[in-house]
């Protein structure tokens, strides 16, 4: 059931948490709001508030009748039991929640080496936590977690990609402590994104005014039996601060992949911040169902939203502009507005940019500035003699 809930909601509720909900483990506290939201989403509601507004405990039989019978007996039983127990716990309220002195909880980290790949050692003091449902969420992806045992003093995490990661110590689905991890790329770095371990490429990725995959590596991509993603990364501790909620990014990119998996010409631009990130994808118009936009706390799937504006041909170089003004994202191609949408949670200051291509692609230039274009974070025309990240401490 834990696995099925994670598949449906993208949130991990551990088996131990579910045992508490079902009374298999003695635990005096009421469930966290994260647990309640996740369970009600799994049961077919928007969130816990939506469930409470629509369903009274005394009207449960009508709720059971609305559950689609094609989910099968197992899913029906799980949904019914979920509603019963979260309703039961809601009556108990949160008055039984035991306070945690977070000042006595230890959670820090240190990298083993510089560069990539890199292992991170987490130093822990968990004596204040009287639970066996403890984990570390390594970064924004809620599925990337490290399970901990009560009393565990250390844990290690593996990082294959550069980035600004916010590691979180989570107990009973509540964030107890969090801190930042900064793994830099040391200039432009290319990766062939094999799973689970990527291939790193540094030499010959900048030549003739282009950021691109070396000719010697291209056959590895074009002859693959499965689709391959290639990525360019530049993650740095920039000396000039530019807010990820107010900036202009100008660039020109092209998907150069023409082999059997090339039909959709997918390409994405990532803007990495100190708090979160943005992902702006592109594909040919016929494949927009397969893309998704991420704006910090907002995710829009092409299967559920009209992202047709981001459907453009990428077989030739396209002039793109990404502008964010007071948390409103606008995307342009050759000055034609393709997409606009607002979000809520800040992504913090910009610490990096990624280009991600299905197959292979190339970048002609990149410039990132603040809104009045007076503060330059990155300006790169990919000349071998140019600085790769102006304003950087590299």
38-49 pLDDT tens trace:
898 888 888 887
Examine residue 269 and state whether it is found in any structural domain, yes or no.
yes
Examine residue 388 and state whether it is found in any structural domain, yes or no.
no
* Phi, psi for residue 272 in degrees, rounded to 5: -95, 130
Last residue of a domain, one of 183, 208, 228: 183
Last residue of a domain, one of 61, 92, 123: 92
* Claim to verify: residue 374 and residue 318 sit in the same structural domain: yes
Predicted confidence (pLDDT) per residue in 108-131, tens digit: 999 998 889 999 999 999 998 988
Residue 58: the pLDDT is: 45
* Claim to verify: residue 178 and residue 252 sit in the same structural domain: no
Examine residue 391 and state whether it is found in any structural domain, yes or no.
no
Q: What CA–CA distance (Å, rounded) separates 53 from 197? A: 46
Crossing angle between the packed helical segments 33-42 and 2-9, to the nearest 10 degrees: 80
Q: What CA–CA distance (Å, rounded) separates 180 from 348? A: 12
Examine residue 389 and state whether it is found in any structural domain, yes or no.
no
Examine residue 58 and state whether it is found in any structural domain, yes or no.
yes
Residue 98 binned pLDDT confidence (cut-offs 50, 70, 90): low
Alpha-carbon distances of 65 from 34, 38, 50, 55, 76, rounded to whole Å: 26, 21, 18, 12, 10
| pLDDT at residue 393 tops 70 | no
Residue 33: the pLDDT is: 78
**Mean of the per-residue pLDDT values of the chain:** 86
For the stretch 376-389, what's the b/e string if a residue is b when 16 or more beta carbons lie within 10 angstroms of its beta carbon? ebbbbebeeeeebb
Residue 23: the pLDDT is: 77
CA triplet 107, 176, 26: central angle to 5 degrees? 115
Examine residue 386 and state whether it is found in any structural domain, yes or no.
no
Q: Which domain holds residue 10?
A: 2-92
| pLDDT at residue 361 tops 80 | yes
Indicate which CATH number applies to the domain containing 154: 2.60.40
Examine residue 97 and state whether it is found in any structural domain, yes or no.
no
Residue 82: the pLDDT is: 59
- Average of pLDDT values for 239-256? 96
C-beta of residue 329 within 8 angstroms of C-beta of residue 245: no
Task: Give every strand in the sheet of 106-111, ordered side by side.
Answer: 106-111, 118-125, 154-159
Q: What is the pTM of this model?
A: 0.73
Collapsing DSSP to helix, strand or coil, 366 comes out as strand
* Claim to verify: residue 227 and residue 273 sit in the same structural domain: yes
Residue 67: the pLDDT is: 47
Contacts 24+ apart (CB under 8 A), 109-112: 109/167, 109/179, 109/181, 111/181, 111/183
* Claim to verify: residue 203 and residue 339 sit in the same structural domain: yes
* Claim to verify: residue 315 and residue 200 sit in the same structural domain: yes
| DSSP label at residue 351 | E
* Claim to verify: residue 353 and residue 336 sit in the same structural domain: yes
Predicted confidence (pLDDT) per residue in 27-40, tens digit: 666 777 778 888 98
* Claim to verify: residue 225 and residue 339 sit in the same structural domain: yes
The total number of structural domains in the chain stands at 3
**Residue percentage of the chain with pLDDT more than 90:** 61
389 or 28, higher pLDDT: 28
Examine residue 390 and state whether it is found in any structural domain, yes or no.
no
- Average of pLDDT values for 10-28? 76
* Claim to verify: residue 338 and residue 196 sit in the same structural domain: yes
DSSP letters of 115-158?
SSSEEEEEEEE-TT---S-EEEE-SS-TT-EEEE-TT--EEEEE
For the stretch 179-205, what's the b/e string if a residue is b when 16 or more beta carbons lie within 10 angstroms of its beta carbon? eebebbbbbbbbbbeeeeebebbeeeb
Indicate which CATH number applies to the domain containing 327: 2.60.120.200
Residue 28: the pLDDT is: 64
* Claim to verify: residue 195 and residue 143 sit in the same structural domain: no
* Claim to verify: residue 82 and residue 32 sit in the same structural domain: yes
DSSP letters of 247-275?
EEEEEEEEE---STT-TT--EEEEEEESS
Predicted confidence (pLDDT) per residue in 292-324, tens digit: 999 999 999 999 999 999 999 999 999 999 999
The answer to whether the Cα torsion of 136, 141, 143, 144 is positive or negative is negative
* Claim to verify: residue 200 and residue 343 sit in the same structural domain: yes
| pLDDT at residue 236 tops 90 | yes
Element (H, E) at 350: strand 350-358
Residue 385: the pLDDT is: 59
* Claim to verify: residue 373 and residue 266 sit in the same structural domain: yes
Last residue of a domain, one of 92, 118, 135: 92
């Amino acid at each position: 059931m834990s696995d099925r809930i994670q598949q449906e909601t993208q949130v991990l509720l551990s088996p131990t948490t579910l045992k508490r909900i079902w009374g298999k483990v003695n635990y005096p506290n009421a469930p966290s709001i994260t647990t309640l939201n996740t369970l009600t989403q799994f049961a077919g509601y928007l969130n816990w508030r939506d469930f409470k507004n629509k369903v009274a405990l005394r009207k449960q039989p009508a709720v059971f009748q609305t559950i689609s019978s094609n989910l099968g007996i197992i899913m029906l039983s799980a949904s019914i039991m979920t509603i019963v127990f979260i309703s039961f716990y809601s009556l108990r309220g949160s008055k039984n929640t035991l306070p945690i002195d977070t000042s006595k909880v230890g959670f820090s980290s240190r990298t083993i080496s510089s560069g990539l790949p890199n292992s991170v050692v987490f130093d822990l003091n968990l004596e204040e936590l009287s639970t066996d449902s403890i984990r570390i969420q390594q970064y924004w992806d809620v599925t990337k977690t490290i399970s901990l045992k009560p009393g565990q003093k250390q844990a290690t995490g593996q990082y294959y990609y550069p980035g600004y990661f916010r590691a979180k110590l989570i107990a009973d689905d509540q964030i107890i402590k969090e801190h930042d991890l900064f793994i830099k790329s040391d200039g432009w770095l290319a990766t062939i994104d094999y799973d689970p371990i990527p291939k790193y490429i540094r030499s010959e990725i900048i030549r003739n005014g282009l950021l691109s995959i070396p000719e010697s590596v291209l056959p590895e991509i074009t002859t693959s039996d499965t689709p391959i993603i290639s990525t360019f990364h530049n993650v740095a501790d920039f000396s000039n601060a530019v807010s990820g909620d107010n900036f202009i990014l100008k660039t020109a990119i092209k998907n150069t992949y023409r082999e059997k998996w090339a039909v959709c010409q997918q390409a994405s631009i990532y803007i990495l911040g100190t708090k979160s990130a943005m992902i702006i994808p592109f594909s040919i118009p016929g494949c927009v169902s397969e893309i998704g936009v991420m704006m910090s706390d907002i995710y829009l799937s092409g299967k559920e939203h009209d992202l047709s504006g981001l459907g453009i041909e990428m077989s030739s170089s396209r002039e793109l502009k990404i502008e964010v003004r007071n948390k409103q994202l606008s995307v342009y191609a050759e000055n034609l507005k393709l997409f606009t949408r607002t979000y809520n949670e800040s992504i913090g200051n910009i610490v990096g940019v990624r280009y991600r291509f299905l197959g292979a692609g190339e970048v002609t230039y990149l410039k990132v500035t603040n809104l009045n274009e007076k503060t330059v974070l990155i300006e790169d025309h990919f000349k071998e003699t140019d600085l790769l990240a102006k304003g950087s401490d590299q």
